Amino acid sequence: LSYPEKIDIRNCEKEPIHLIGKAQAHGVILAVDPKTFKIIQASENTLKFFGISHKVLLNDGLESLIGKAAFEKITTAIDQKTGFKAEELKIGNKHFIVLPHFSEDHLILDFEVLGEYWEPMFLQQQLTNIINGLDSNETIPNLCNTAAKLMKSIFGYDRVMVYRFDEEWNGEVVAEEKEEHLESWLDLHYPASDIPSQSRNLFLKHKVRIISDVNYEPVPISPYLSQITKKPLDLSKSTLRGVSPIHIEYLQNMKVGASLTAAIIVHGKLWGLIACHHYSAKFINYFQRETCKFLAQVFSNNIASIQTGIFNKKFSENSELRAKILADLKIENTLGEGLENAKIPFISLMESGGGAVVLDDEIKLFGKTPTEAEVKDLSDFLAENEEIIFYTKHLKNHFSAAENYKKSASGILSFKLGRANNNFIIWFRPEVAETVSWGGNPNKKLTYNEEKQRLSPRKSFEKWTEKLDGISNSWQDYDIETAKAFRENLNQCILKKQKEEISRLN
């Protein structure tokens, strides 16, 4: 897909934002051929920053622009494959920081102004505050609140949000720290399409991104196509990559003037974002962004360790319950009868409204469930499924008949028993009547301009609420591990029974 192809709000996922061919206006992007060290592409704002027009720079050697010392550091890093460091340097009488990286067959250099200087002592204090502040939280909500507070106090954005993704990449604002006069967006939900997958994937790479001035004039990179690859430059790792016009429109509709976004990555997966808004232009420099990266990293590690603690606790509680249930299973009963007679119902192994045992065409129901006939149909559907363990919080998405019993079974977790394909243990989760609401007054539509607001959190919220139908609470990793372990236990029981029967027959 070439850029700019017609991208609108229906095909966001397709926008190749890494090939945008534009820079943000707060710095200069140069592309250098690493064989000749000639500048082959440049953002068209070099006159403003370096006092030299981009036309003059093109085909010039890099060394004459950045000086011998900086040039040597960069070439040494290339020779020794040591990885680049940010370098401070002077061009004319201006101080810059240059951030080199490789992209395909180009050496890309991002030049930014040095910006606000933090004394080492101040920096050290911030790092200590980050570690101490974040380490002292025992729950994820507390941790998120602390992270938002720290971000606000260190970087001073008007609004700081911790934005958490669900399994389908919808998001929710789970913590917020803001200037008092702003309306709160805490607890608001947004659909996955607001941050399309290519944007989320980039966050795994660059981790922190600023948009320093939402109302900026995008700076073209000239020439648009690289002479090496005959394609636009891949700016995935450039800190100065221009912003998708769609996202700019979104921010403008929110009246936001600048943003800082940091990735929260837990076990290699994007868990959420720290999203900061400012209501005028705002630049934070490279060193400050590194501090932000550090904060996000400590935050992420703490989430991982709290999650592990929760997992271990739940799993060990469940192990005890499982042991009790198994102790009650009598060899002379069928498994269905055994689970029916056990003092502890198996459905209590995890949060659920009800459950079913489907075994050798016999169905036993526990708690709140669909009818027996419906469970029979459902198990026919499950039998066709390859997976041994199947779970969803949105069953009717997979199996439309589930519309009829979404009240009791919007979500299911099931596993296949033994070697047969049509024996199951199933847990059901009821539909959650989510009490989500739009912050502020949803009826105050007087000032609401449909066309202008087509890309705005309020529109997104409407889109998101439409999707709420027939959804249960999510299955957690400890639920899934419990199911696996219980399956193992029951399979052992089945084997034992089969063995006894065989020995009886002999």
Provide the binding-site residues for ligand BLA, judged by CB under 6 A.
9, 12, 15, 17, 161, 171, 173, 185, 190, 193-196, 199, 209, 211, 243-244, 246-247, 250, 259, 261, 273, 275, 455, 457, 460
Residue with the shortest CB distance to ligand BLA: 12
Comparing C-alpha atoms, which of 241, 237, 286, 236 is closest to residue 89?
286
Q: Where are the alpha helices (DSSP H) in 254-285?
A: none
CA angle 77, 80, 82 (to 5 degrees): 60
Helix H or strand E encompassing 265? strand 258-266
Pick between residue 172 and residue 431 the one whose CB is nearest to ligand BLA: 172
The nearer residue to ligand BLA, 195 or 365, going by C-beta atoms, is 195
The burial of 127, by beta-carbon neighbours within 10 Å (0-12 exposed, 13-18 middle, 19 or more buried), is given as middle
Nearer to ligand BLA, 34 or 218 (CB): 218
Cα–Cα distance measured from residue 123 to residue 106, given in angstroms and rounded to the nearest whole number: 34
Q: How far is the CB of 439 from ligand BLA (least distance, A)?
A: 10
Query: Which is closer to ligand BLA, CB of 70 or CB of 162?
Result: 162
Q: Which amino acid is at 444?
A: K
CB of 207 vs ligand BLA, minimal distance in Å: 11
- Closest CB to ligand BLA among 247 and 416? 247
Least distance from ligand BLA to the Cβ atom of residue 221, Å: 14
Residue closer to ligand BLA, measured from CB, 13 or 351: 13
Least Cβ distance, residue 193 to ligand BLA (angstroms):
5
| Token pair in block for residue 328 | 């009650």
Q: How far is the CB of 280 from ligand BLA (least distance, A)?
A: 16
Q: How far is the CB of 20 from ligand BLA (least distance, A)?
A: 7
> Quick one: 221 or 402, whose CB is closer to ligand BLA?
221
121, burial (CB in 10 Å: exposed 0-12, middle 13-18, buried 19+): exposed
Q: How many residues does the chain have?
A: 506
Distance CA 460, CA 196 (A): 13
Handedness of CA 20, 22, 25, 27 (dihedral sign): positive
Angle 323-326-331 (CA atoms, 0-180°, nearest 5)?
Answer: 155
Helices marked H in 44-164? 46-50, 54-57, 62-66, 68-79, 120-135, 140-155
- Written as six digits, the tokens of 143 are 């941790």
In whole angstroms, the minimum distance from the beta carbon of 152 to ligand BLA comes to 15
